[in-house]
């Protein structure tokens, strides 16, 4: 092979390598887009699960606070059920069950849920007592 043929051969080989490299870069950028789209439902599901866990985690705190507020109201001679409901944020007032028996207040808060039936399983109950009969 002559020197000219060797130079041409190396030039062709370099051009082929460049074409393959550019083709691989295009394929890799397309692969990243496909992976992102494929991963998007997983990311959304994880985000929704985190939000559900936060809602379930706040329910016991809200129930306890409402029960204490109801017991304090009874000790002060006011309506315990009304006070318990007033101690809750607006979204929880439609998801609460308050029971008053004498000086005892029992509050059940059902957190909002993204899937039907999950909220009832994550409901939190708290009780408080204003002490001996007033």
State whether the Cα torsion 9-13-18-23 is positive or negative.
Answer: positive
104 located within any domain:
yes
CA angle 123, 71, 110 (to 5 degrees): 10
Q: Indicate the pLDDT class of residue 24, thresholds 50, 70 and 90.
A: low
The predicted-structure confidence for 64-106, as pLDDT tens digits, reads as follows 999 999 999 999 999 999 999 999 998 888 999 999 999 999 9
The predicted-structure confidence for 30-52, as pLDDT tens digits, reads as follows 787 888 888 999 999 999 889 88
Distances (CA, A) of 77 to 68, 85, 130: 14, 16, 10
Distances (CA, A) of 86 to 58, 66, 98, 108, 120: 17, 8, 11, 14, 22
Q: In this structure, are strands 96-101 and 124-129 parallel, antiparallel, or unpaired?
A: unpaired
The whole domain housing 47 covers 3-129
134 located within any domain:
no
Mean pLDDT taken over the chain: 83
What are 30's two structure tokens?
């397309």
Domains of the chain: total? 1
Q: Are 91 and 110 in contact (CB under 8 A)?
A: no
30 located within any domain:
yes
């Amino acid at each position: 092979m002559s020197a000219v043929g060797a130079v041409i051969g190396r030039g062709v080989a370099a051009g082929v390598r460049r074409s393959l490299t550019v083709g691989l870069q295009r394929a890799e950028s397309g692969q990243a887009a496909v992976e992102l789209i494929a991963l998007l439902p997983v990311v959304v599901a994880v985000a929704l699960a985190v939000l559900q866990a936060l809602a379930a985690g706040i329910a016991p705190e809200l129930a306890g606070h409402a029960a204490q507020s109801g017991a304090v109201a009874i000790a002060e001679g006011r309506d315990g059920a009304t006070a318990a409901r007033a101690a809750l944020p607006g979204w929880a007032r439609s998801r609460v069950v308050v029971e008053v028996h004498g000086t005892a207040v029992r509050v059940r808060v059902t957190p909002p849920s993204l899937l039907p039936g999950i909220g009832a399983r994550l409901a939190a109950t708290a009780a408080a007592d204003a002490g001996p009969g007033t």
